[in-house]
Structure 1
Amino acid sequence: MDLHVTETSKEDGVAIVRLSRPGRGNSWTKRMNEEYRWLMASHDADPEVRVIVVTGAGRQFCVGADFKALDHYVDAKQDYVESTNAQVLPQPGHGVREEFDHEMVWHWGLQKPVIAAINGACAGIAVALASFCDLRYAVSGAKLTTSTPRLGLPAEYGLAWILPRIVGLTHAMDILISGRVLVAEEADRMGWLNGVFEAETFESRIMQIAKDLAKTTSPIAVKTAKRQVYAELLSANVGAAVEDSKRLIGELMKAPDYLEGVKSMQERRAPAFAALAAP
């Protein structure tokens, strides 16, 4: 696919995906959604890639939906749901669980961990995108807002479901009904972020985290844990979670990564885990 509003690169087992609309705040469009999904599917299938980092070009992450697109729906006769469903898109992360086969939730069906590196303003749909990533880090002072209450819109793309599960009901209600602007440090205190780094070191810190994950963790173990977490998030049966984890332990103990992990610890060296097969 020809990339017009995204960029990508690979380094030491880490794929970097950049939302890139210079001068438009990396605002979200149908084209960006298509390119982003295609890139994520490609990297998830690439055995050289073990971790995916999503960030923005320049000094912004994504300021939300492009206002020209939003304005289109003021007078348009076309139904919003029909227009979004009509677009034929790549389907990364699909086929794992029926619940994951939806916009943004598909991140949970990916084999590989996804880090949202929020390098600047993050608004609207971008908050949902980051919320469905596995880890979130932001640059110090970055501004975040759902913005929808101030546009006369509801909580979008699953935020009413996912935010209370990340930050708790009290903080989620604050964020979703006020639409106010938070800075990264407040979002970190709420528990939405895994960390906040200064601008001067932000990119290097993110890459260090991503490369450490790529070098030191078993891809099959990470994939399995990721699937466990999101599956159990949808379940209220703790006993079933325990029994399922025992079954998975038995399965992974027969896989090569377990033997390599034990040997590397005994020999006091870094593990050399095999790449995942394409999904």
Structure 2
Amino acid sequence: MELKVTRVEVDDHGVATVTLNRPDRGNSWTGRMHAEYRWIMAELERDERVRVAVLTGAGRAFCVGADTKALSSYVGGGGYDGGLREEVANPGYGVRPEFDADVSWQLGLRFPLICAVNGACAGVALAMAAYADIRFGMVDAKITTATAKLAMPVEYGLSWILPRIIGLTHAADVLLSGRILRAQELGGMGFFNEVLGPDEFHDAVTGYARMLARLSPTATTVTKRQLYDDLLASNPAASVDRSKELISELMAHPDYGEGVRALVEKRAPEFGR
């Protein structure tokens, strides 16, 4: 696919950086961006070099939500128009049926997804950040659901994921009010793993991504699966029993032997691709 509103790079550490690339429009979301983003992620899932992905925005915004021209066209239309008639890729699908939908498919990706919210983040962009595994926020970035002020309901499963990240009370405030929050306030609620200034933001995100990329990709995928499987379950005993099964499976994997040798030899492990 020809990329017109996104770009992607994979570094030598196995970190893929996906950038929403409409800086003149605040990286606002369109049908074209939707299709390109899903196509990129499907390609990254097939690329064995990729161990971690980072999602960010070009320029000073992360993504200001749906393009205002598109929003105007929806008035009286009774629903969203995806903007493209061609079939889109389905990365992350097939892991669990609960993940097989817009945005929530990010939970099914085999690698960790880090969302680097480098500026304004609204609407669908907030959902994309919420369904990432790790989140970094830029100091003073403005963040909002936007829907309350448009007389719209909660979008893209935020009513499911947000209470699980920041708790019911905070989620009710964010979703019902639609008010604009700064990254620092959302960070205090637990939405962001870390909120950073512009001088340290890029290096911190890159350093964290590369740290994850050095870990066993097999164990990382298994751990991500455990995390969301248990989020959808309510049986701690089943979680314990499943973890014991996975311990036996991963002990037979070459990465476990390398991890033990590295520990004994007091060096960094070198896990296979």
Range class of TM-score, shorter chain: over 0.9
> Which amino acid in the other structure matches residue 5 of structure 1?
V
TM, length-normalised to structure 1:
0.94
- Aligned partner of 1:268 in structure 2 is 266
Cα distance in 2 for residues equivalent to 1:225 and 1:166: 18
Residues 90-109 of structure 1, C-alpha deviations (whole Å, 9 max, x = no match): 00011111111111111111
Name the counterpart of 2:25: 24
Give the structure 2 partner of residue 219 of structure 1: 217
**Contact preservation (8 Å) 2:140, 2:184:** yes
Q: Does 1:50 align with 2:48?
A: no
Moved over 2 A (4+): 79-87
| TM-superposed deviation, 1:80 | 2.2
Residue correspondences, number: 272
Whole-Å separation in 1 of the counterparts to 2:105 and 2:248:
27
Alpha-carbon spacing, 1:85–1:225, altered in 2? closer, same or farther (3 Å): farther
Gaps of 5+ in 1: none
Q: How does 1:143-154 map to 2 (within 5 A)?
A: 143-154=142-153
> How far did residue 54 of structure 1 move?
0.2
What is the percentage of aligned positions where both structures have the same residue?
51
What displacement does 1:85 show? 10
Q: Is 1:96–2:116 an aligned residue pair?
A: no
Normalised to the residue count of structure 2, the TM-score between the two structures is 0.96
Distance in 1 (alpha carbons) for counterparts of 2:63 and 2:6: 12
In structure 1, distance between residues paired with 2:237 and 2:112: 26
How many angstroms does 1:75 deviate by? 3.2
**Residue deviations 1:47-100, cap 9 Å, x none?**
111110000000100000111111111133xx5268689752100011111111
Displacement of 1:229: 0.7
- Find the aligned partners of 1:88 and 1:231 in 2 and give their Cα distance: 28
Partner of 1:137: 136
Q: Give the gaps of 5 or more residues in structure 2.
A: none
2: CA distance, partners of 1:114 / 1:133 = 5
Matched residue SS, 1:80: coil
Alignment of structure 1 residues 1-279 onto 2, 5 Å: 1-11=1-11, 12-76=13-77, 79-80=78-79, 88-215=87-214, 217-275=215-273
TM-superposed CA distance for 1:184, in Å, is: 0.7
Q: CA RMSD in A?
A: 1.4
Residue 46 of structure 1 deviates from its aligned partner by 1.0
3-state SS of the aligned residue for 1:172? helix
